[in-house]
Amino acid sequence: MALLEVSGLSVQYGRVSALNGVSLTVPEGRIVTVLGANGAGKSTLLRAILGAVPARAGGVTFAGTDVTREAPHARIARGMALVPEGRRILISLTVEENLLLGAHMRKDAAAIRREAEAIYDRFPNLAERRRMAASCLSGGEQQMLAIGRAMMAKPRLIMLDEPSLGLSPLFVSRLFSLIRELNADGLSVLLVEQNTGKALSVAHGATVLELGRVIMSGDPKTLAADPRLQAAYLGEGAAAPSPH
C-alpha cells in the first residue's frame, strides 16, 4: 500500500520552475531516496510535500487522503515529519527543550515522557547532555537531536533532507544504521541525500531529479548499475547497494 503518493507536482518561484511534473510513491514501511545535484529541486520537493511551499499543479496524497491544500500543521498531525537540511536546532535551548518541541502538537504528557526516554536510550550522548544548551553538541549529535525531535511527533513518514551533510565518516555510518533501524521499526522514510552510494544501499526505491524533473526512477540496484548515474553521482568503482 502506498503511504505517500506525489502526482505531477509542480512548484514555481516567480518565473523560475523549481519542480515540473514530479511523481513518486513511498510504499508503507519502505525507504525511498531522491537523488540529484544541487539545484535539482530535492529540498523543494520535500517542502512541497509538507505544504511549506504551494503546488502550482499536481497533488499529494497521504494515507489515502488528498492533502494538497492542507496546511503544514495538518499534514504533520496526519503523520508527516521533516528533518530539514542544516538540522535547524535552536542552540540557545537545552537538548531536552529542543527534543520536546517535536511534541508541541500533542497533549499526552505521560506518553511524551516515555518516548523522550526511549529516544535518550537510543542516543546516550543526548541523554548525558539533556540539561545542556544544544550548542554544546557536535554536528553529528545535532543531527541525532533533529531526528529525535521529529520522532517526538510520532510520524508515519519521516523526510530527511541531506542528513549526512557535514558529518564525519563515523557519524555518517551511524546515521545510515539509524535509518535502517527506524525503518525496521515500521517507519517509512523519504531520504534526500547527496551521498548516493550510501543512500542507494539503504533504499528500497530511488528517484533521480535533474532541474526539477524526474529523469530516472526504480530499483536502487538497477539505478546503481546505470552508466549515467555512475558517471554523474557514483564515480568509478562505487559499491553496489546491498540486497534487502
Tens-place pLDDT, residues 8-28: 999 999 989 999 999 999 999
* 143 lies in some domain: no
- Looking from the CA of 146 toward its CB, the CA atoms found within 13 Å total 26
Percent of the chain with pLDDT over 90: 78
User: Which domain CATH number covers 162?
Assistant: 3.40.50.300
* 93 lies in some domain: no
- Looking from the CA of 57 toward its CB, the CA atoms found within 13 Å total 10
Residues in the chain: 244
- Phi and psi at 78, nearest 5°, equal -75, -20
The model's pTM: 0.91
Q: Residue 82: which domain range?
A: 2-88+155-234
* 77 lies in some domain: yes
* 211 lies in some domain: yes
* 116 lies in some domain: no
* Cα R_g (the chain), whole angstroms: 18
What band does 56 get if pLDDT is binned at 50, 70 and 90?
very high
Q: For residue 154, which amino acid is it?
A: K
* 100 lies in some domain: no
Q: What is the pLDDT of residue 2?
A: 94
Q: What is the pLDDT of residue 1?
A: 83
* 231, burial (CB in 10 Å: exposed 0-12, middle 13-18, buried 19+): exposed
For residues 79-102, average pLDDT: 91
Cβ(189)–Cβ(158) below 8 Å:
yes
3-class SS shares of the chain: helix, strand, coil, % to 5: 40, 25, 35
Q: What is the pLDDT of residue 235?
A: 53
* 134 lies in some domain: no
Beta bridge partners of 11: 19
Measured CA to CA in angstroms, residue 20 lies from 58, 128, 130, 207, 229 at distances of 9, 46, 43, 14, 20
* 146 lies in some domain: no
C-alpha cell at 67: 492533502
Q: What is the pLDDT of residue 202?
A: 96
pLDDT in tens, 96-121: 999 999 998 888 889 999 999 999 99
C-alpha cell at 242: 546491498
What band does 243 get if pLDDT is binned at 50, 70 and 90?
very low
What is the tally of structural domains in the chain? 1
